[in-house]
Copies of this chain bind each other. A is one copy, B any other.
């Protein structure tokens, strides 16, 4: 297939030849030919497929009618509300994760790392639903699954065994959660997570909402184990709010630990008035970064949508990026940054890479970012999987 007349990130109009799921040639517009199908892209902008490196596909309530949220403000209120809601409404995890997956594809996400809740209430039901969705949507969206103890791990006996079972059944990553604030046992929590990772040779992705000095303490503990077990390059800390709320000396120390141990940070440009790690500070120091849309229209709130251009915009907004070179940083994190962190191979718009790409209206990538029109075309492994904002998978 030949994609004609695309605007490359450097502003040049190009043609792009796709064969066997790969980009085989890129040339100036009008210079490539093909025996097969051609699509005229009308000079629209092209991005590599977006990488949503932090999703919770099992949680969404999309398609179930507006969820009236009057939940209390604490994390525990939200955990408890979600667990109760699931049982009360008998959520179909396969159906729900498919719904949000199709919206992700429609908006140009070709790869995602999604957490899946595993607890003693639902057992592996969400994981199993997500495994089915992963198979169903494979043509449009590569799904990497993180076994995630959302309701606590050591605090709920039986959870570790369930996580281990999910790893045996194919969960690619082991997840952790606020080792001090939730399990109240940072040593036990992190020893267990790193133990499972070592035993099953899996990467690690830990939600760290803990603010200030508490978060800093657990970040030190994560770094220490990363070094000791040789997990450099294999650990992500998600949210890491503490990086937005410690003093300068502590921040400098934490950033050093992240760089030394090649620990990546996922920031989704958090909502709320204060806590937000500085994307620029982290990238300038050499910390690898990715971003993601987190939970979509779930019992935690309706704030997120499955559109990585909106997510990149929120990164721009929360970081007050106004210059083009700064804005570029947010786009890089939503594409190449995410691909690197979650381990997507053959990623990018150069020949030889997988033909995973998004075509969208705009004078350039920046205008597309701020206008966010429906995606003109989404391609995954050389196949058109969405057009004009509609998922075809």
**Contact indicator A366/B302 (Cβ below 8 Å):** yes
Question: In the complex the two chains form, what is the Cα distance from A314 to B303 in whole Å?
Answer: 10
> Which of A110-118, A188-196, A322-330 forms contacts with chain B?
A322-330
A371 interfacial contact with B, CB 8 Å: yes
Q: Contacts A305-B371, A370-B305 given; indicate if A69 touches B323 (C-beta within 8 A).
A: yes
CB < 8 Å neighbour of A317 from B68, B271, B321, B327? B271
Question: In the complex the two chains form, what is the Cα distance from A345 to B64 in whole Å?
Answer: 39
Chain B residue, CB-CB nearest to A11: B66
**Contact indicator B364/A66 (Cβ below 8 Å):** yes
Q: Contacts A366-B66, A367-B66 given; indicate if A300 touches B322 (C-beta within 8 A).
A: yes
Least Cβ distance of A196 to chain B in Å? 32
CB < 8 Å neighbour of A66 from B272, B301, B305, B363? B363
Question: In the complex the two chains form, what is the Cα distance from A317 to B300 in whole Å?
Answer: 13
**Contact indicator B69/A324 (Cβ below 8 Å):** yes
Question: In the complex the two chains form, what is the Cα distance from A320 to B66 in whole Å?
Answer: 18
Least Cβ distance of A298 to chain B in Å? 10
A233 interfacial contact with B, CB 8 Å: no
**Contact indicator A318/B271 (Cβ below 8 Å):** yes
User: Would you list which residues of chain A between 228 and 279 have a CB under 8 Å from chain B?
Assistant: 244, 271-274, 276, 278
A70 interfacial contact with B, CB 8 Å: yes
Q: Contacts A271-B317, A363-B65, A366-B66 given; indicate if A322 touches B303 (C-beta within 8 A).
A: yes
**Contact indicator A273/B318 (Cβ below 8 Å):** yes
**Contact indicator B316/A303 (Cβ below 8 Å):** yes
A319 interfacial contact with B, CB 8 Å: yes
A297 interfacial contact with B, CB 8 Å: yes
Least Cβ distance of A294 to chain B in Å? 12
Question: In the complex the two chains form, what is the Cα distance from A70 to B323 in whole Å?
Answer: 5
Q: Contacts A70-B325, A305-B371 given; indicate if A320 touches B364 (C-beta within 8 A).
A: no
Question: In the complex the two chains form, what is the Cα distance from A274 to B305 in whole Å?
Answer: 23
Question: In the complex the two chains form, what is the Cα distance from A364 to B305 in whole Å?
Answer: 16
Question: In the complex the two chains form, what is the Cα distance from A316 to B303 in whole Å?
Answer: 8
Q: Contacts A302-B370, A324-B70 given; indicate if A273 touches B276 (C-beta within 8 A).
A: yes
Question: In the complex the two chains form, what is the Cα distance from A322 to B325 in whole Å?
Answer: 33
A68 CB contacts on chain B under 8 angstroms: 324
A322 CB contacts on chain B under 8 angstroms: 69, 71, 300-303
A301 CB contacts on chain B under 8 angstroms: 322
Chain B residue, CB-CB nearest to A299: B322
Question: In the complex the two chains form, what is the Cα distance from A128 to B367 in whole Å?
Answer: 29
**Contact indicator B303/A317 (Cβ below 8 Å):** yes
Chain B residue, CB-CB nearest to A320: B272
Least Cβ distance of A95 to chain B in Å? 18
Query: B-facing mask of A57-69, CB < 8 A → 1, else 0?
Result: 0000000011011
Query: B-facing mask of A305-348, CB < 8 A → 1, else 0?
Result: 10000000010111111111101000000000000000000000
List the 4 closest pairs (A to B, CB-CB), nearest first: A301-B322, A272-B320, A271-B320, A271-B317
A to B CB contacts below 8 Å, 12 in the list:
A66-B364, A66-B366, A66-B367, A70-B325, A71-B323, A271-B319, A271-B320, A272-B319, A273-B278, A302-B327, A302-B367, A305-B370
Which residues on A are within 8 Å of B, measured CB to CB? 65-66, 68-71, 244, 271-274, 276, 278, 297, 300-303, 305, 314, 316-325, 327, 363-364, 366-367, 370-371
